Amino acid sequence: MTPLLGGRRTPAAPKGAILVAGTHSDAGKSLVTAGLCRWLMRQGISVAPFKAQNMALNSVVARGGFEIGRAQAMQAAAAGIEPEVAMNPILIKPSGDAHSQVIVMGKPYADADARSYQGLKDELRPIVSEALAQLQARYDVVVCEGAGSPAEINLRAADLVNMGLATTAGLPVLLVGDIDRGGVFGSLLGTVAALDATDQSHLAGYVINKFRGDLGVLAPGLDMIKDLTGRPVLGVLPYLENLFLDAEDSLAIEKPRPDLESASANGTLDVAVVRLRWMSNFTDLDALAREPGVRVRFTRSPVDIERADLVVVPGTKATVEDLARLRASGLDEALIERNRRGDPILGICGGYQLLGESIFDDVESGAGEVHGLGLLPISTTFQASKVLRNASGHSALLGSDVGGYEIRHGRPRLHGGAPLITDDTGGVEGCVVAGTMGTSWHGLLEHDDARRALLRWTASLRDLPFTPSPATNFAAEREVQLDALGDMIGEHLDTDAILRLIDAGAPLELPTVKLTLE
């Protein structure tokens, strides 16, 4: 391709959009989208991410006080731009077994079950189109991410995020398959064949993700899938060890994390994260996991809760329901006993709320007044409006300036203990009593000084000779990860072909793959 000089777009640079779809959830759509954003940005091309509809419990507060999926914020960082609400116009946050909160343009819009949400899509479609148009007007390229699989034929008629978006906006589509799970060629072929002729006309090529092995052995399969479908494999991405990225859902913690395993080999501090059913923003723990000598694991074991040096009760989108599950599993008693001994506990957002004395919730669960675990002197009342803001302040206990962001319906009220933080407006935030502390702020642990102070506090209470590394810079490490994605795209994808697709769309001569029964 023609090199770009001085960080500015040359006449050869593309202007358009592309959709990255996947054969299934966790195939690598977010990774490829972020990698393309970083690679394009490095070429001097202005680029933005977009995901029309995201189902995730990990979210952030974008500019202006709007809630979007955390993966889109990570992709914006890859593109070197500030996250904004147009990048994720619809965010669906499951808040129970049968219902979800629907966030539209960053604000609560409706509570819906799977069936009633389908009925909302006609009114949401123009909102999606307008958000994408806004980004296309301001950036050279928009890299769109699909959701789940485009072969979910039962949902195709009202689809907003996969082939429905591709056909409406005229987007070429890359289909990502995860070879590490096995059956990648069947997944690619089956996905294409399940689409109708119009949808297939947008699907322009494949990306195989997480390959480890001999490319010479794989090569015949690449030729065969092209012969079967008329579409080329535009790249085979290697399995990247020690990669951590802001994940969308709990599938990301199902599999071992190589970075955590290596970090824990000579570990001196053990962190147990209570694995709540409706756990949200578990990416709060990523920064802890990057600390040398710190082992972070998600668990439902009372024994783990008893033995860990620090226990974290993370955020949850269903505070009352997760509290009931804690009691049913006996984890409540493990936390109460730990509190009695004075061993360190940290509650974050919903986890902070359930550590308190009482919760009054007529918003999420409709349960009314519920007794909390009684470990912190706070009472929480849920309100229909949502607190959405970025925040900063100072923590005397941690001895550092701190920052974070708030996403919550619950309003905790402190009536004892000591505040954890004094915010920049002079208000107080969080609560500390002996070895138990809580805060409503997500992202607190991404601040290096605050994270290291928490680890020193933990080591002191546990009488451990642990000193956190002064060299860990979480923001810099995240940039290194994003650069690794950009490197991978540049080295292993046919970037010239990708640029042609962005600029000109899918080729007109793509064949239709037909299912036949004999």
Structural domain spans, the chain: 16-52+70-80+124-244+479-504, 269-465
CB 129 within 8 A of CB 122: no
pLDDT at 294: 95
Residue (of 26, 35, 31) closest to 187 by Cα position: 26
Radius of gyration of the chain (CA): 24
CATH code for the domain defined by 16-52+70-80+124-244+479-504: 3.40.50.300
Q: What is the pLDDT of residues 395-405, one digit of tens each?
A: 999 999 999 99
| Catalytic residue from among 349, 409, 431, 447 | 349
| Catalytic residue from among 409, 442, 447, 492 | 442
pLDDT at 95: 82
Q: How far apart are CA 151 and CA 315, in angstroms?
A: 32
Same fold, 16-52+70-80+124-244+479-504 and 269-465: yes
pLDDT at 448: 96
Task: Please state whether the predicted TM-score (pTM) of the whole model is above 0.85.
Answer: yes
Low-confidence ranges of the chain (pLDDT < 50): 1-11, 251, 256-266
Q: Hey, what amino acid is at 372?
A: G
Q: Is 144 designated active site?
A: no
pLDDT at 249: 54
Q: Is 442 designated active site?
A: yes
Starting at the earlier edge strand, list the strands of the sheet with 16-22: 47-50, 141-145, 16-22, 173-178, 203-211, 233-238
Domain 269-465: give its CATH architecture: 3-Layer(aba) Sandwich (3.40)
Q: How far apart are CA 174 and CA 168, in angstroms?
A: 16
- Backbone φ and ψ for 229, nearest 5 degrees, come out as -120, -10
pLDDT at 260: 42
